[in-house]
Amino acid sequence: MEISKTNIPEVLLFEPTIHGDNRGYFMETFRAAHFEENGLDFNFVQDNQSRSQKGTLRGLHYQLHYPQGKLARVTNGEIFDVAVDLRSSSPTFGQWAGEILSAKNKKQLWIPPGFAHGFLVLSDSADLLYKCTDYYRPEDEHSLFWKDPDLAIAWPEIGVEPIISEKDQLAQAFSSASVYK
């Protein structure tokens, strides 16, 4: 597996080695040693999966008291996946990293604890599967406004208005959001 840093060094892109032939393919999607070799000492405790239609924008979500690290991959379709650094002591505080994840490219994005996470569906539909380092606690969920000018996320143009939940439409501006110390 090839592991590379994004513009935010802690946000990693995992590209699996694909072993394919006329029958199909095989790939390893997770190996703890890859995390350990990169100084990441996390245990995954929960797997989540979502299916969304084209134009769905979910996020930018984060947990303040029980932050989740997430290893995200797409098993059907294509998304633009985003991580925003909310660690106030970080040199990349307020910056974002974004990657196209798809069933075709089979890439995975590591979003560390202390980051907000969101994605935009680029294909007709997409299935996102992600492993989490802590349990989801609804009372600890926070959201940043996806189109906040202070974040200036370069969401891809997809020819339709994003479909956004009511909760995400009411998300906080980055300038007034609670962040990690």
Catalytic residue among 130, 136, 142, 180: 130
Catalytic residue among 19, 61, 62, 135: 61
Half-sphere exposure of 164 (CA within 13 A, CB side): 19
Contact assessment for residue 98 and residue 64, using Cβ atoms and an 8 Å cutoff:
no
Contact assessment for residue 12 and residue 90, using Cβ atoms and an 8 Å cutoff:
no
Closest by CA position to 98, among listed 57, 39, 40: 57
- Nearest 5°: phi and psi at 159? 85, 0
| 25 part of the active site | no
| 61 part of the active site | yes
Closest by CA position to 95, among listed 1, 179, 2: 179
- What are the beta bridge partners of residue 181? none
Coil/strand/helix, residue 87? strand
Residues belonging to the active site: 61, 130
